[in-house]
C-alpha cells in the first residue's frame, strides 16, 4: 500500500515500509518456526542448546529491535516535518530514509548476534 499510493512515495513512506518489513520478518520467521516445532513435537527444537533455534531467535528479535530503531527514525522524521517544515526536503530524502531503514535493520540484527555464542 505504501508503494502504490503517491502520498507515501517520500521519506515517510520509506520509513513506513521499513517498519513493515522488519515486522513481517519477525512474524513470518516466528510463525514458520512455531509451525515446525509443533509439527515435529521435538523438545530439542525449542531448546536454546540447538544452534538453529538461536539463529531463529536472532532473526525474530533482530526484526523486533529493527522495528524499535525505525520507530526512532519515524519520530525524528515527524519532528523535522513539524519543527522545520521549510528545510524538511533538505533534511529528509527518500535515499536518506532508505539508509535509515537499512541501518535500523542492520543494527537490530547486530545487537541480537551476541546471543549466538
Could you read off the pLDDT of 40-78 as tens digits, one per residue? 988 888 888 889 989 999 999 999 999 999 999 999 999
For residues 7 and 86, give the distance between their C-alpha atoms in angstroms, rounded to a whole number.
18
Tell me whether residue 20 is in a domain.
yes
For residues 8 and 17, give the distance between their C-alpha atoms in angstroms, rounded to a whole number.
9
Predicted structure pTM score: 0.82
Average pLDDT estimate for 81-97: 93
For residues 103 and 98, give the distance between their C-alpha atoms in angstroms, rounded to a whole number.
9
Tell me whether residue 97 is in a domain.
yes
Tell me whether residue 1 is in a domain.
no
Tell me whether residue 33 is in a domain.
yes
Range of the domain at 53: 6-116
Tell me whether residue 70 is in a domain.
yes
Total domains present in the chain: 1
Tell me the backbone φ, ψ of residue 10, rounded to 5 degrees.
-150, -170
Tell me whether residue 107 is in a domain.
yes
Amino acid at each position: 500500500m505504501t508503494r502504490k499510493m503517491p502520498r507515501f512515495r517520500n521519506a515517510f513512506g520509506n520509513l513506513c515500509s521499513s517498519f513493515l518489513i522488519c515486522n513481517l520478518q519477525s512474524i513470518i520467521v516466528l510463525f514458520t518456526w512455531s509451525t515446525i516445532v509443533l509439527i515435529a513435537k521435538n523438545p530439542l527444537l525449542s531448546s536454546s542448546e540447538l544452534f538453529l533455534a538461536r539463529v531463529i531467535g536472532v532473526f525474530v528479535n533482530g526484526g523486533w529491535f529493527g522495528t524499535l530503531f525505525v520507530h526512532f527514525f519515524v519520530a525524528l522524521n515527524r519532528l523535522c516535518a513539524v519543527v522545520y517544515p521549510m528545510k524538511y526536503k533538505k533534511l529528509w530524502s527518500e535515499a536518506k530514509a532508505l539508509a535509515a531503514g537499512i541501518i535500523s535493520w542492520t543494527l537490530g540484527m547486530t545487537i541480537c548476534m551476541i546471543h549466538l555464542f
